[in-house]
A and B are shown apart, each in its own frame.
Chain A
Amino acid sequence: MSNLIETRVRDVVCRLFLDGNTAFPLDANMSLIESGICDSMGLVTLATAIEKEFPGVRIQDQDITHEAMGSLEAITQLLRARGVDE
């Protein structure tokens, strides 16, 4: 099910790594790392961009991992756990 948080996260990913092109068929549970969209360094950039997109959210160092931030779905869950509402 698509939702607002996920859409905003998807837009951030497309802007950072795919030249802003939102035509990319990114599945929510697709691994950003294994799909070659970004690497570990990219996850750090993504964490900073997500914090800007969702003011007040702080992503901790221990969450900048392939498990916690490796897909749109994982990031959406992380944001929900940080109290972000739809």
Chain B
Amino acid sequence: MTLVSPALRGSTIVEALRLRAADEPAGVAAVLVRPDRADEILRFSDVLLLANHFADYLRTLGETAAGSSPRVVNVCLYHGATLHAAFIGAMLAGYLPSMIAPPSPRMEKQKYVDSFTRMLAHIEPAFVITERAVIDALSELRPNALSGRRIVDAALVHASFDPAARTLADVRYPEAHENDVALLQHSSGTTGLQKGVALSHKAVLTQIARYSAVIELSRDDVIASWLPLYHDMGFIACFIMPLVTGVPVVEISPFDWVNRPQLLLEAIERHRATFCWLPNFAYVFMSKSIREGHPDLSSIRAFINCSEPVMASTHRAFASRFSVPPEKLTACYAMAENVFAVTQSAMHEAPRVDRIDRGVFEREHRAQPAPEGGLEFVSNGRPIGEVEVTVVDADGHVIPERQVGEICIRGTSLFSGYFGRRDLTEHAFMGDRYKTGDLGYLADGELFVTGRKKDLIVIQGRNFYPSDIEAEVSAVDGVIDGRVAAFGESDPETGTEALIIIAECEVDDATARARLELAIRKRVAQSFDCTASGVHLVPRQWLIKSTAGKVARSDNRAKYERDLKR
């Protein structure tokens, strides 16, 4: 078994690509798995040549463009060879690529176009490389958004590619320095789009070297993934890391997986995959939805649970349903601001489950061991490499182990800042420590995440800002403007958070109220591709507002638990 970490070469991502092209161009980059079709193998050389074609296309346009100062290229595509090539091509052409979510089948076209237009306004990309369907929807619904913008139809560029026209020797690599920003990671929503996480080549490659060493990633490994690439877990663990280390990825579209979850386990069995990153809900979803058969998952070295709180009950159910040894179910704490992983539980060991006293936890914010019952938290393991994790109190003072406070991190994989938003960047740091907004405690050097200080809802590994959801619901006809609260509530049945919406209205008639609830549900589904678990219509003045006039979410959550929760 040859570990990839000592063999990592190159001080920039483009240099790592150039070295890989020289060393082993014919290696498998990805295997695309689609329902009812034969698997498609993408070799690194094929991807790189197509990427170079995209780069040539952008260079041609760029050279003729006057005054195109923004350097970001947004890549908004469904899974496939074009997605890989467009992203790498943008980097080869010297731009900062950033993945953006393509439309989901559930989102209303108008809603998607609105959010896409907001994205253009916030990010001001030099180019957007996207699907024909997105361009058509924009032309139809927001033609002004296209004027002066450089929107590239990826399929047209791909169609003009002649694999025989160029060789790997023709691929041009841009000049880059290790401290230059290499790429951006964006999360969705009005708020998320303003926070493009800028990552340098050095931060990305340092993270990959350290993380791959911790998980003992080797040249014999195969990663299996259904994760979207516009989210850090899919993007770093299942796209950038394999790209620079030469480890192949077996890749399934998230849309295909959610409708046919067995595709992933069948692909693991067929390709003898060894690593698989999943958010907690995915374990529950597969345990419950795959009711027939026993896929052979013995090739797996580790499933890695990441992106939302890890539940011990989830691991127990998954281990039991699919006969996976508990020591193969590991946990990781990660965020885009640190490229990806902050901590990782040990390989070959089941992560420790800490059982603590609920009363002491709630009253004193302390994790006091209580073997009999109480609360249980799963360890996310120790910090990777030289990442330093501290827990601080409200005044920013570091607090002892087992005291709950805000998790802060420091290290060389930290982001360079939110792109073009110095104000947000300054707010996110305390000296050289990044304040994660997550709450947790350390015990024997291991990190346990217990909750969140920031107002963020994490559903199925995806982040939602309550203010975005509240604004949409507020605009539904019949809801009193500005009188909406949205928050997440942990739900062990689904392994993720349930979205709870409380909206004030002055509607009494039962049928009219049912119609209004449906209208709210539909608006949330079509705007965010997310399902509200509970929609509660309450009378005017039910919601508590702060003295500043804002909906006080924690107070309203407590009132909900007391008065509305069934």
Which residues on the A side are within 8 Å of B523 (C-beta)?
A: 36
Which residues on the B side are within 8 Å of A40 (C-beta)?
A: 258-259, 261, 285, 289
**A44 lies within 8 A of B285 (CB):** yes
Interface string of A32-48 (1 = CB under 8 A from B): 01111111111111000
Q: Is B521 an interface residue (CB 8 A)?
A: yes
Contact of B288 among A37, A44, A65 (CB under 8 A): A44
Q: What is the distance, in angstroms, from B493's C-beta to the closest C-beta of chain A? A: 8
A/B interface sample: 29 pairs, CB < 8 A: A18-B514, A18-B517, A19-B566, A23-B513, A24-B514, A25-B511, A25-B514, A25-B515, A25-B518, A33-B531, A34-B106, A35-B521, A36-B520, A36-B524, A36-B525, A36-B531, A36-B532, A37-B521, A39-B530, A40-B259, A40-B289, A41-B285, A41-B289, A44-B285, A44-B289, A61-B289, A65-B260, A66-B259, A67-B259
**A36 lies within 8 A of B259 (CB):** no
Which residues on the B side are within 8 Å of A23 (C-beta)?
A: 510-511, 513-514
Q: Is B292 an interface residue (CB 8 A)?
A: yes
Interface size on A, residues (CB 8 A): 26
A62 to B293, CA, bound (A): 12
Q: Is B363 an interface residue (CB 8 A)?
A: no
Q: Is A60 an interface residue (CB 8 A)?
A: yes
Q: Is B290 an interface residue (CB 8 A)?
A: yes
A41 to B280, CA, bound (A): 13
**A33 lies within 8 A of B285 (CB):** no
Q: Is A64 an interface residue (CB 8 A)?
A: yes
Q: What is the distance, in angstroms, from A42's C-beta to the closest C-beta of chain B? A: 7
**A61 lies within 8 A of B259 (CB):** no
Contact of A65 among B259, B524, B566 (CB under 8 A): B259
Q: What is the distance, in angstroms, from B510's C-beta to the closest C-beta of chain A? A: 5
Given contacts A41-B285, A61-B290, contact A33 B517 (CB under 8 A): no
Which residues on the B side are within 8 Å of A38 (C-beta)?
A: 531
A65 to B105, CA, bound (A): 14
Besides A18-B517, A21-B510, A64-B289, 12 other CB < 8 A contacts? Answer: A24-B518, A25-B518, A35-B521, A35-B525, A36-B520, A36-B522, A36-B523, A37-B518, A42-B531, A44-B288, A44-B289, A65-B259
A4 to B88, CA, bound (A): 56
Q: Which residues of A contact B (CB under 8 A)?
A: 18-19, 21, 23-25, 33-45, 60-62, 64-67
**B288 lies within 8 A of A61 (CB):** no
Interface size on B, residues (CB 8 A): 34
Q: Is B206 an interface residue (CB 8 A)?
A: no
Can you list the 9 inter-chain pairs with the closest CB atoms, starting with the nearest? A36-B525, A36-B521, A39-B531, A23-B514, A44-B289, A24-B514, A40-B258, A23-B510, A44-B288
Given contacts A19-B566, A33-B106, A66-B259, contact A60 B514 (CB under 8 A): no
Q: What is the distance, in angstroms, from A24's C-beta to the closest C-beta of chain B? A: 5
Q: Is B281 an interface residue (CB 8 A)?
A: yes
Interface string of B14-43 (1 = CB under 8 A from A): 000000000000000000000000000000
Interface string of B524-549 (1 = CB under 8 A from A): 11100011100000000000000000
Which residues on the A side are within 8 Å of B513 (C-beta)?
A: 23
Given contacts A19-B566, A23-B510, A61-B291, contact A35 B285 (CB under 8 A): no
Given contacts A21-B514, A66-B259, contact A34 B522 (CB under 8 A): yes
Q: What is the distance, in angstroms, from B45's C-beta to the closest C-beta of chain A? A: 37
Q: Is B115 an interface residue (CB 8 A)?
A: no
Which residues on the A side are within 8 Å of B520 (C-beta)?
A: 36
**Which residues of B, 45-93, contact A by the 8 Å Cβ criterion?**
none
Residue of A nearest to B511 (CB): A23
Residue of A nearest to B284 (CB): A41
Q: What is the distance, in angstroms, from A35's C-beta to the closest C-beta of chain B? A: 5
Contact of A61 among B106, B292, B518, B522 (CB under 8 A): B292
Which residues on the B side are within 8 Å of A19 (C-beta)?
A: 566
Q: What is the distance, in angstroms, from B475's C-beta to the closest C-beta of chain A? A: 15
**A41 lies within 8 A of B281 (CB):** yes
Q: Is B494 an interface residue (CB 8 A)?
A: yes
A40 to B257, CA, bound (A): 10
A39 to B291, CA, bound (A): 18
Residue of A nearest to B536 (CB): A19
Q: Is B262 an interface residue (CB 8 A)?
A: yes
Which residues on the B side are within 8 Å of A45 (C-beta)?
A: 288
Q: What is the distance, in angstroms, from B426's C-beta to the closest C-beta of chain A? A: 38
A23 to B260, CA, bound (A): 32
Which residues on the A side are within 8 Å of B566 (C-beta)?
A: 19
**Which residues of B, 260-284, contact A by the 8 Å Cβ criterion?**
260-262, 281, 284
Which residues on the A side are within 8 Å of B526 (C-beta)?
A: 34, 36
Which residues on the B side are within 8 Å of A34 (C-beta)?
A: 106, 522, 525-526
Residue of B nearest to A59 (CB): B291
Q: Which of B288, B513, B566 is packed against the most chain A CB atoms within 10 Å? A: B288
**Which residues of B, 497-527, contact A by the 8 Å Cβ criterion?**
510-511, 513-515, 517-518, 520-526
Given contacts A35-B522, A38-B531, contact A24 B517 (CB under 8 A): yes
A60 to B289, CA, bound (A): 10
A44 to B261, CA, bound (A): 11
Which residues on the A side are within 8 Å of B532 (C-beta)?
A: 36
Which residues on the A side are within 8 Å of B284 (C-beta)?
A: 41
A37 to B525, CA, bound (A): 9
Which residues on the B side are within 8 Å of A44 (C-beta)?
A: 285, 288-289
A65 to B261, CA, bound (A): 10
A61 to B511, CA, bound (A): 35
Q: What is the distance, in angstroms, from A45's C-beta to the closest C-beta of chain B? A: 8
**B518 lies within 8 A of A35 (CB):** yes
**B514 lies within 8 A of A41 (CB):** no
Which residues on the B side are within 8 Å of A41 (C-beta)?
A: 281, 284-285, 288-289, 494
A38 to B522, CA, bound (A): 10
**B525 lies within 8 A of A33 (CB):** yes
Q: What is the distance, in angstroms, from B468's C-beta to the closest C-beta of chain A? A: 16
**A60 lies within 8 A of B524 (CB):** no
